[in-house]
């Protein structure tokens, strides 16, 4: 355990939780790759229907993941993530979208927001950053998928703005930032470094650093935390679970291909 996160059991699953969110009126977890039914290389808790795994196994894994936040599978909402900054507000009418088939998922969105209880939001990742954001007073909840493209496009900023339009106050928002590829492992080319500089200006020097080989490393955790800070979310209300997906108990697209997906899942309690 650390002061930012704890690994715990939820049924057959091993999941990560942020203690900061325990009294925020939400159930929120990040799954690991343990506790599911998928065979290698998706062993065992792959949540991605689009990676070549047996769909029936994925659906069972998703059922188990939903149970970890106290919901049935048909209460989840899954989006087609597009590495952009589109935010979609969902409610009870969208429950079940994308849970058993990709073709009815919420299209081209990288953040989901709700004000309704028992609507399970999902952000799927395998090296990208998953975030859970909640204003416990206004009862506005978001999950965010932030890869490098979404990060430089400002998807986390866009999620906070969408929450604000629904009554959230940035000063009241609490955030959990989940496991992702660690900066030292995340080597990027000049086009990514240039995009980060354009997005973050003078702050980019501490986010993107030359590695001595003609490439750069990119700190996705700090980049998304900076977006929260700039949007008005107090730093002490953000917990970063800085666990590296490359060699941790998670799926990593950089480490092994093909690979499964893990996820951040969250719901507002009644």
Q: What is the pLDDT of residue 2?
A: 52
Read off the pLDDT of residues 16-54 as tens digits, 9 standing for 90 and up. 999 999 999 999 999 999 999 999 999 999 999 999 999
Pick the CATH number of 6-268 from 3.60.140.10, 3.40.50.300, 3.10.310.30, 3.90.320.10: 3.60.140.10
pTM above 0.95, yes or no: yes
Q: What is the pLDDT confidence band of residue 1, given thresholds at 50, 70 and 90? A: very low
d(CA 148, CA 161): 20
Read off the pLDDT of residues 64-118 as tens digits, 9 standing for 90 and up. 999 999 999 999 999 999 999 999 999 999 999 999 999 999 999 999 999 999 9
Read off the pLDDT of residues 191-221 as tens digits, 9 standing for 90 and up. 999 999 999 999 999 999 999 999 999 999 9
* Domain residue extents for the chain: 6-268
């Amino acid at each position: 355990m650390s002061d930012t996160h704890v690994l715990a059991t939820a049924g057959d699953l091993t999941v990560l939780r942020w203690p900061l969110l325990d009294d925020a009126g939400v159930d929120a977890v990040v799954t690991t790759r343990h506790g599911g039914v998928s065979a290698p290389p998706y062993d065992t808790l792959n949540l991605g229907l689009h990676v070549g795994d047996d769909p029936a196994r994925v659906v069972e894994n998703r059922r188990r993941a939903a149970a970890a936040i106290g919901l049935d599978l048909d209460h989840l909402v899954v989006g087609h993530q597009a590495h952009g900054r589109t935010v979609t507000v969902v409610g009870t009418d969208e429950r079940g979208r994308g849970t058993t088939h990709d073709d009815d998922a919420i299209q081209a969105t990288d953040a989901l927001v709700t004000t309704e209880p028992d609507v399970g939001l999902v952000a799927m990742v395998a090296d990208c950053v998953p975030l859970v954001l909640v204003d416990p007073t206004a009862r506005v909840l978001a999950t965010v998928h932030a890869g490098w493209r979404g990060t430089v496009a400002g998807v986390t900023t866009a999620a906070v703005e969408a929450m604000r339009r629904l009554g959230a106050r940035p000063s009241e928002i609490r955030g959990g930032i989940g496991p992702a590829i660690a900066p030292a492992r995340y080597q990027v080319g000049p086009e990514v470094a240039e995009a980060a500089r354009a997005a973050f200006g003078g702050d980019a020097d501490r986010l993107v650093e030359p590695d001595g080989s003609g490439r750069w490393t990119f700190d996705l955790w700090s980049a998304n935390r900076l977006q929260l800070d700039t949007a008005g979310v107090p730093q002490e209300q953000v917990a970063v679970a800085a666990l590296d997906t490359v060699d941790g108990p998670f799926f990593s697209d950089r480490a092994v291909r093909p690979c499964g997906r893990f996820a951040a899942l969250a719901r507002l309690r009644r």
